[in-house]
Amino acid sequence: MTAPETTSAPVPTPAAPAGPVPVEVIDRSCRWPVMVLLVLAAGWMVVAGLLAVLAAIKLHAPGLLAHQAWLTYGRLQPAAWNALVFGFASLAGLAVALWLTARLSGAPLRGGGFILLGALVWHAGLKFGLLGILAGDATGFEGLELPPYASPMLLMGYLLMAPWALLTFARRAEPEACVAQWHVLTALWVFPWVFAAAHLATTFLPLRGVLQAAAQAWYLQNLQLLWLGYLGLAAIFYLVPKLTGVAVPSRSLALFGFWVLTLFGSQAGMARYAGGPFPAWMTSVAAAAGALTLFGVVAVVLNGAGCARAVMGRLRDSVVLRFVVLAGVVFAGTAALSALNSLLGVREWTQFTLVTPGLDLLWIQGVAGLALLGAGYFLVPRLMGLAWPMPGLARAHFYLAAAAVGVLGVAFLVGGWVHGVALGDADLSFLGVAKRYLPFASTGTLAQLLWLLGAGLFALNLLVLVVRACRLAVAPVWRAWRTPQPEEVRP
Amino acid sequence: MKHGPLLFLGVLAAVLASWLTAVVAPHFQIGREEPIPIEELGIQYPVDRAGEAKQGAEVYRALGCNYCHTRQVRQEPLLADLTVTDLGTNAVEARAVVASLRRDLAGVDGSHLPAVLPQPLLARVRFAEADAARRRLTNAGAQVELTFANRGADIARGWGPRRTVARDYLRDHPVLLGQVRFGPDLANLGVRETNVMRLYLKLYNARIEMPGSTMPRYPFLFEERRLRPGAEPSPEALQGFGFKPPPGMEVVPRLEARQLVAYLLSLKADTLYYETYLPRPPTASPAAAANPAAASATNAPAPNAPVPPPQP
């Protein structure tokens, strides 16, 4: 962290600070950019929750609110997904990434004004994008729906924000980067390439035929694993040692897991279209890569098991740790199931079923969402110098979010299997298939409702804290202005 | 990891490698595909859509139909049966191969194998496995028959006569393959549904015709017009299939509905050509064996054969 710099260590850049920077200085440099990003993320989380609940209800109540084109399922669903991914998860991820980079580099965050501007450009772009989706301008590719006038704005906003993390990293006090830092930097580095390449290949300079879908599958895999998944893993790898006081048990194991996940994880996207209209080798490569990611997952799990005892002792009194540990557990389960799901024998039964959206949502809400919420609960009091006004709400949020992810996982994975078996039974009419999956799809509504309630509690807690901080900041000025000035003494 | 640049270059290389395998390499393989002429039908497949259907594709995209409907027919897992019809002149070697494939048939010495001909050898095994066994047996001089044991649930449901291949989507942008089947597959909707009125009614309210359907209603694609007293409803007004318009009203499809239905009717991926056609194995039937040119020269499937898969 901010360990004193040894004199023998090579100084990375000439501009590196001479001595260790106090944590308070680093936190103060982060206060505005990170808090603005987090407040925006909390707002988007509520919006995404509302849209997701509405979309989930429409799946089993198809006659509801049917008269409005913008409220049809085919528009609400992508709007909810984009609000969740680019509103909540990405903005919270950026907030955590910037703060973690500054803390771990032992250097104050640079470029605060640009980051604020970038956050607003991203926010505005996403607003245009969501309105566009609801108006029917979505590009149609699942996960890449943002219309062509919105996606460049997001990229522009990103390019105003993320480079400052790299510039801060370049001025780091310690040359050795730690495990959490690899994940943060990889996520920050990968996102713009993946986002830009996928939008170019599908929308701006579309490839021929099904290659558009191949680019989309590649993008979704990298978005879920290398962007959101790694931001979540970074929070886990930072906060668990921090809160338990036990270092990551094996650095080399972590290094192995990191490279295995990066190398094979990014190859595994095409498993999404197994058996589809593609050359068979494409899905075979993806299936093999997906299976190989298991080694990386095992490495992460072994590292986690190494500090399990220390974690269990502290779990009772730290909400942050609970969020983060649950995210780790969900990561292990989701990554293992994703690897299993890329095997062709399994894919035959799970393709085109609830398993596909189920695993996607587990990556976003279960892995990235839970870990980033935990990080949010950790960093806000430190940045603002104020405790959470309602710690009870934070505990309630944990139980709601955990229940949401649990219900979601069980309903969509079990339901997906039922759905797949029903689809595979050619004697069953499609109405019969619908009857089989509907109970599980309706349970998805419950999961989204629980998630929305949790989001509301988080937003409320954050709002009260920000208002309190503003009042504290304004109070002395107000009091000074209100107190009558002593009259000038005339000579 | 002391070297920041190493991290960045390594990660960039990994992501670039995945881009190369997922997009660039396939681009060299199928990225320059062109529609192919099919002389028997006098068309270039895939057929370009008419203007109204092209506009309908935009409606399909804007309403997000692909969030519930896929447009790809799978044919997996493909299973096959293998039957020995004749052991040929080198019966010893053929018996050895049979014995290696079916140990339970071998008995104590394996000398009287197989007892009766034709003998079913493999049942409902993976196509690749059955094909490998066929090759070994024919190399040993035996005559075998390879038949498909299933066609996959999609084809059995009538969602298409064959699996979809990359060329089917050459005219599409965006290519909306779909990921979840909350509704049936639409790759061949235009083949199995030719009644325009039924499609309109499905869009207006799918539960009129099919109670229990989970399809959303799209009433905003239709105009509810008041009828002048005594006037007949216009010819394009919704009717039939148990639909009763509100009294004194008629429900007429708007432009978007007409475009969408034109597009839905144009969804066809049933044309057979070499890419979607696997000739029956050479020793499959006496007729094909007697006239092998006829079996390989035609684009139409053999009348009684299940539609074969493309060779990927």
pLDDT digits (tens, 9 = 90+) for A98-118: 999 999 999 999 888 999 999
E strands, chain B, are 36-38, 43-45, 79-86, 119-126, 143-148, 222-226, 249-253
Inspect the interface and report whether the beta carbons of B26 and A190 lie closer than 8 Å. no
Confidence of residue A405 (pLDDT cuts 50, 70, 90): very high
Q: With 0-12 CB in 10 A as exposed, 13-18 as middle and 19+ as buried, what is B115?
A: exposed
Check CB contact of A356 with chain B, cutoff 8 Å.
yes
Instruction: Identify from A174, A352, A419 which residue to disrupt to test chain B contact, counting B C-beta atoms within 10 A and taking the largest count.
Output: A352
A366 C-beta neighbours (distance < 10 Å), count: 26
Q: Which residues of chain B have pLDDT under 70?
A: 1-3, 77, 106-115, 276-312
Query: CA of B218: which chain A residue's CA is closest?
Result: A66
Question: What DSSP letter does each residue of B236-249 carry, written as one string?
Answer: TS---TT--PPTTE
- Alpha carbon separation from A431 to B56, B198, B242 (Å, rounded): 26, 17, 19
The mean pLDDT of A438-455, rounded to a whole number, is 95
A310/chain B closest Cα distance in angstroms? 26
Q: Which member of B27, B153, B167 has the closest CB to residue A424? A: B153
Quickly tell me which residue has 């008995």 as its tokens: B107
Give B158→chain A minimum CA distance, Å.
9
How close does chain A come to B9, measured CA to CA in Å?
A: 10
Query: What does the pLDDT average to over A460-476?
Result: 93
pLDDT of amino acid A6: 39
Query: Residue B259 is encoded by which pair of tokens?
Result: 């475009």
A208 vs B33: CB contact, 8 Å cut-off? yes
Sequence-separated (6 or more) residues with CB below 8 Å from residue A275: A283, A344, A347, A348, A351, B74, B75, B76, B163
Within 8 A of B32 by CB-CB distance, chain A residues are 208
Which residues from chain A sit within 8 angstroms of residue B309, using beta carbons? none
How far apart are the C-alpha atoms of A284 and A268, rounded to whole Å?
9
Q: To 10 degrees, the CA torsion angle through A342, A402, A56, A416?
A: 30
pLDDT at position B234, please? 87
Cβ of A278 within 8 Å of Cβ of B22? The answer is: no
A348 vs B14, B76, B178: nearest CB:
B76
Rounded to two decimals, what is the model's pTM?
Answer: 0.88
Query: From the list A69, A193, A208, which residue is nearest B220 (CB)?
Result: A69
Q: Answer yes or no: is pLDDT of A354 > 80.
A: yes
Which residues face B125 on adjacent strands? B80
Best to test chain A binding among B32, B168, B209, B214 (most A CBs inside 10 Å): B214
Contact A281 B312 (CB under 8 A): yes
Please say if the pLDDT value at position A296 is more than 50: yes
Chain A 325-354, CB below 8 Å of chain B: which residues? Answer: 344-345, 348, 351-354
Inter-chain CB proximity B74 and A197 less than 8 Å: no
Which one, of A214, A170, B172, lies nearest residue B186 by Cα? B172
- Whether A279 sits inside 8 A of B167 (CB atoms) is no
Q: Which of A266, A281, A437 to mutate to test the interface with B (most CBs of B within 10 A)?
A: A266
Q: Say whether residue A280 is in contact with chain B using an 8 A CB cutoff.
A: yes
**Does residue A355 have a pLDDT over 90?**
yes
Q: Verify whether the Cβ–Cβ distance A136 to B62 is below 8 Å.
A: yes
Condensed to tens digits (0 to 9), the pLDDT of residues B222-251 reads: 999 898 888 888 888 998 888 888 888 899
Q: Does A173 touch chain B (CB under 8 A)?
A: no
A237 has a pLDDT exceeding 90: yes
Between residues A52 and B305, the one the model is more confident about: A52
Mean pLDDT of chain A: 91
* Backbone Cα Rg of chain B: 27
Contact yes or no for B77 and A213 at CB 8 A = no
Asked if pLDDT for residue A36 goes beyond 90, the answer is yes
Among chain A residues, CA nearest to B46: A209
Torsion on CA atoms B203, B218, A408, A268, rounded to nearest 10: 70
Q: What is the DSSP letter of B220?
A: G
Among A140, A197, A226, select the one facing B174 at the smallest CB separation.
Answer: A140
- Interchain CB contact of A72 with B (< 8 Å): yes
* Residue A413 in this model has a pLDDT that exceeds 50: yes
Which residues are within 8 A (CB) of A153 and not within 5 positions of it... i.e. 6 or more apart? A121, A122, A124, A125, A128, A129
For residues A250 and B294, the model is more confident at: A250
Q: Which residues of B touch A142 (CB under 8 A)?
A: 66-67, 179
Contacts of A66 in chain B (CB under 8 A): 216-219
Q: What was the pLDDT predicted at A360? A: 95
Report the SS3 class of residue B201: helix
Give me the residues of A, 1-20, that contact B with CB < 8 A.
12
Q: How far is the alpha carbon of A269 from chain B, nearest alpha carbon, in Å? A: 8
- Which pLDDT score, from 0 to 100, does residue B106 have? 64
Q: What are phi and psi of B126, to 5 degrees?
A: -55, 145
Res A426 pLDDT > 70: yes
Among partner residues B1, B165, B213, which is closest to A182 by beta-carbon distance? B1
Beta carbons of A67 and B220 less than 8 Å apart: yes
Q: What average pLDDT does this structure show over A311-322?
A: 88
Query: Which residue has tokens 């390449």?
Result: A197
* Contact yes or no for A176 and B1 at CB 8 A: yes
Nearest C-alpha of chain B: how many angstroms from A189? 7
Residue A34: what residue type? V
> What is the per-residue pLDDT for A348?
85
Quote the pLDDT of residue B1: 53
- What are the phi and psi torsion angles at B180 (to 5°)? -130, 145
Q: Do B169 and A140 touch (CB under 8 A)?
A: no
Q: Which of A67, A208, A263 sits opposite B170 (nearest CB)?
A: A208
pLDDT the model gives residue A18: 53
ipTM of this predicted complex?
Answer: 0.90
A10 dihedral zone (left: phi>0; alpha: psi -120 to 50; beta): beta
Q: Is A151:A202 a contact under the CB 8 Å cutoff?
A: no
Q: What whole-number distance in Å separates Cα of residue A136 and Cα of residue A133?
A: 5
Residue B296: predicted pLDDT: 38
- Chain B, residues 238-297, CB within 8 A of chain A, namely none
- Half-sphere exposure of residue B121, counting CA atoms within 13 Å on the CB side? 33
